[in-house]
Amino acid sequence: MERDLVKYKEDLRNTKEILKETQNKLIGRERSLVKISEKFSSAKKSLDIVSEDKLNVDIELTRLKPNLEELKEEVLRANENIERLESEWRFSSEKAADMEHKLKFKDKEIENHKNDMEKRKIEINILNGKIKENREETEELIKKIKSLETQLSEVKASPIILERIRDVMMHKGFLTDKELDLIFKEFE
């Protein structure tokens, strides 16, 4: 009986040690479970934020679509104006070149008719003024078109930028300022 008692005590000790190890493992697993729960909660919050941002972006895109159509119409009108102004400018340039040719050919006549020459100089100055005005208008229109093209390219790049941001968020769960700057630099 004493042997049995010793054996039971030893079995009891072994069982206590196994129970203690199991408790330690269980505590470790509980800690891991808490950490995993926290990570899941954080990821869910990030996903909610991204979903909200996407919804806001979708709303903004829907709001900007009519503006884009208006901008396209303005670009078409601007292109038509540019073509018209270029035609006028070419015509004015050709006319100015004709006038210069006539002036060279009739140098002797110009000496005899100084009043006539003054009138022609005034016409040339008016034409040069018109050419200058046309050039300035053309340059302004070109600047406006470039500005509109820049805005259009930014609008077109928005979905791609959002996709990149979504990809980073899906992989990492968050987006750093540096990563955001790198994404924007790709589309500049």
pLDDT at residue 136 in the model:
94
- Residue 105: what residue type? F
- CB 127 within 8 Å of CB 96: yes
C-alpha distances out from residue 100 to 97, 121, 130, 141, Å: 5, 10, 16, 29
- CB 169 within 8 Å of CB 46: yes
pLDDT at residue 19 in the model:
92
Residue 188, pLDDT > 90, answer no
Q: Which helix (H) or strand (E) holds 60?
A: helix 2-105
173-184 pLDDT, tens digit each? 777 888 878 877
pLDDT at residue 8 in the model:
86
Considering only CA atoms, give the Rg of the chain. 40
Q: Which domain holds residue 12?
A: 2-186
Please write down the HEC assignment for all residues of 66-129: HHHHHHHHHHHHHHHHHHHHHHHHHHHHHHHHHHHHHHHHCHHHHHHCHHHHHHHHHHHHHHHH
Residue 113 Rama label (left phi>0; alpha psi -120 to 50; beta) = beta
pLDDT at residue 153 in the model:
73
84-95 pLDDT, tens digit each? 999 998 888 888
- Report the C-alpha gap between 152 and 147 in whole angstroms: 9
- Residue 117: what residue type? M
Query: What is the average pLDDT value for the chain, to the nearest integer?
Result: 86
How many folded domains does the chain comprise? Answer: 1
